[in-house]
Amino acid sequence: MATVDESATDTPDAYEQLLERSEKLTNVRMASMVLGWDQRVMMPEGGTPARAGQLSTLSSMGHELLVDDDVGAWLSALESQELTDEQAAVVRELRRKYDRAVDVPADLVGRLTTHQTQTQQVWQEAKGNDDFGHFAPALEELIDLHRERASAIDPAENPYRVLYEDSLPYLPLETVERIFDELREHLVPLIAEIQENGRDLPSPFAGHTYDEETQMALSEAALDVLGYDRKHGRLDTAPHPFMSGNQFDARVTTRFREDDPLDALTATIHEFGHATYQLGLRKDEYGTPLGASRSSGVHESQSRFWENHVGRTKAFWELFLPTVKEHFPHLEDVTVDEAYAAANRIYPDNLIRVEADELTYHLHIILRCEIDRAFVEGDLEVADIPQVWNDKMEEYLGVRPDTDTDGCLQDTHWSYGFATFQGYTVGSVLAAQLDAAMREDLDADVDDLIREGEFEPLREWMIENVHRHGQRYPSEELIEVATGEPLTAEYFLEYVDEKFTDLYGL
Ligand code: ZN
């Protein structure tokens, strides 16, 4: 381009080029996501070797598009220019991504990826044989590689904090740990009280078999009631339910338990919540950070909002129980109160995180965060993890696993990374805070809206206050913009106190 005054044309030019690159990066990532969806939902087992190669090629392509020197030059040029708030946000987000990618040498990325694949395999064997000793050396090496990576990104910073910021950027670890302390101090005695009180909430759904086909129809019916737009989404089954997609195509999955229809229903509503976030992002900003979700923690707030603050309310059961009965006529005599109680039952003797109830779940998360911070920082020997795990389970939940398979080997997360669990609990805490802000804001009573099946105002509120911002604000700021205050445990604790005091007659 012929130009005399370079600075005058630098901004739009560099910005346009940066946006174009950002869209390409998004396209590569979305293509990987569709291949990943296909792998988990549709692909015949034998397809794995070819699919692994396809995904790895796309991943390298994405990396090269990002670490290109041009990207660095555009960012530097833009950082010295006057930018609008939105442009500045785009530059901030891409700078962060770019730095994290160029700082880590390709050789280290390769070693890490190879080791993660092996560790995944070793973890599966160790879990199958209840043999932590088999897993320990691979875990030690994984910690070393992650420390090396953290040091490449920021040698002066605590490695755990660097890893934490991979999944929860712009939300200080101190804030999250303070909230976790409050949760632990509050939830441990509350759960003990529920246990001592001895009231059992019998499930009216127990003792029957629920065929998959009818359960699938019931999940579809729930999505219809909630207003899931099938022009932009679909429901399938997968062993571990997930949501995958973007603002044009956000697909959900669920899975079935033969003896309990609530399991699939809850998973479906949870994933629907994730889909609402994707579908609420600005379509005209597809491919830029302004059209991308903020973080895993904010994403989880959307799924938990729909799962807990909608799907587990009495109002929802007033609305939806008749549909459940249409699908399973033997439930004809079940009352709303019984269904509501079953959906909110607490069972602290459970050892498995993914099967935990709404309350004990967070202690499963907190103990993982405490343990993984300690061993990444070198305060805990890997060999001591099983003992510390079991002690904490006993201290927090009053149960002790007999095996490591049901203890520290139960989750796959430590076979690829660390500091990855915080987002789950942050999601619930933020969901309660958003729910409170929404109830304050909306003219109509939220429970009335749910009872009437009027979900549009709820979704609109989330779009207006959370989704449409994309990554315009750092997480902390987004929470303040949406709710008028910083992230706090207050609303979540109020919500659980009120609900469980009533349910368990405490
Ligand atoms: Zn989720």
As a three-state string, the secondary structure of 116-135 is: HHHHHHHHHHHHHCCCHHHH
Q: Among 93, 157, 196, 271, which one carries the catalytic annotation? A: 271
Angle at the Cα of 412 from the Cα atoms of 410 and 414, rounded to 5 degrees: 105
Q: How far, in Å, CA of 87 to CA of 19, rounded? A: 10
Please give the pLDDT value at position 11.
54
Determine the distance separating the centroid of ligand 1 and the alpha carbon of 474, expressed in angstroms.
21
CA distances from 332 to 21, 265, 266, 314, 317 (A): 57, 18, 21, 18, 14
Strands 250-254, 243-245: pairing kind = antiparallel
Determine the distance separating the centroid of ligand 1 and the alpha carbon of 239, expressed in angstroms.
14
Q: How far, in Å, CA of 492 to CA of 465, rounded? A: 19
Determine the distance separating the centroid of ligand 1 and the alpha carbon of 304, expressed in angstroms.
7
Mapped onto helix, strand or coil, the DSSP state of residue 140 is: helix
CATH 1.10.1370.30 in the chain, residue ranges: 173-503
Q: How far, in Å, CA of 232 to CA of 30, rounded? A: 15
Please give the pLDDT value at position 26.
98
Q: How far, in Å, CA of 32 to CA of 138, rounded? A: 27
Q: How far, in Å, CA of 257 to CA of 142, rounded? A: 34
> Which residues, 6 or more positions from 6, have their beta carbon under 8 angstroms from its beta carbon?
none
189: its two tokens:
């005695």
Angle at the Cα of 235 from the Cα atoms of 229 and 239, rounded to 5 degrees: 150
Helices (H), ranges, 42-84: 48-67, 69-79
CA-nearest of 76, 345, 14, 306 to 204 is: 345
Q: How far, in Å, CA of 121 to CA of 116, rounded? A: 9
Positions of the chain with pLDDT lower than 70, given as ranges: 1-12
Q: How far, in Å, CA of 354 to CA of 412, rounded? A: 12
Please give the pLDDT value at position 52.
86
Determine the distance separating the centroid of ligand 1 and the alpha carbon of 300, expressed in angstroms.
5
DSSP per position, 204-227: TTTT----HHHHHHHHHHHHHHHT
CB 246 within 8 A of CB 278: yes
Determine the distance separating the centroid of ligand 1 and the alpha carbon of 221, expressed in angstroms.
21
Residue linked to tokens 């059992």: 200
- The phi-psi region of residue 233 (left if phi > 0; otherwise alpha if psi is between -120 and 50; otherwise beta) is beta
Domain 173-503 is found in CATH 1.10.1370.30: yes
CA-nearest of 245, 267, 243 to 254 is: 267
pTM of the model: 0.95
Mapped onto helix, strand or coil, the DSSP state of residue 412 is: coil
Backbone angles phi, psi at 137, to 5 degrees: -60, -40
Mapped onto helix, strand or coil, the DSSP state of residue 245 is: strand
Q: How far, in Å, CA of 248 to CA of 207, rounded? A: 41
Determine the distance separating the centroid of ligand 1 and the alpha carbon of 142, expressed in angstroms.
25
Q: How far, in Å, CA of 343 to CA of 335, rounded? A: 12
Please give the pLDDT value at position 167.
87
Please give the pLDDT value at position 272.
98
Q: How far, in Å, CA of 473 to CA of 89, rounded? A: 7
Determine the distance separating the centroid of ligand 1 and the alpha carbon of 139, expressed in angstroms.
25
CA-nearest of 307, 331, 371 to 143 is: 371
Determine the distance separating the centroid of ligand 1 and the alpha carbon of 427, expressed in angstroms.
8
Q: Is 79 a catalytic residue?
A: no
Q: How far, in Å, CA of 502 to CA of 80, rounded? A: 58
- The neighbourhood of ligand 1, an ion, using CB within 5 A, equals 303
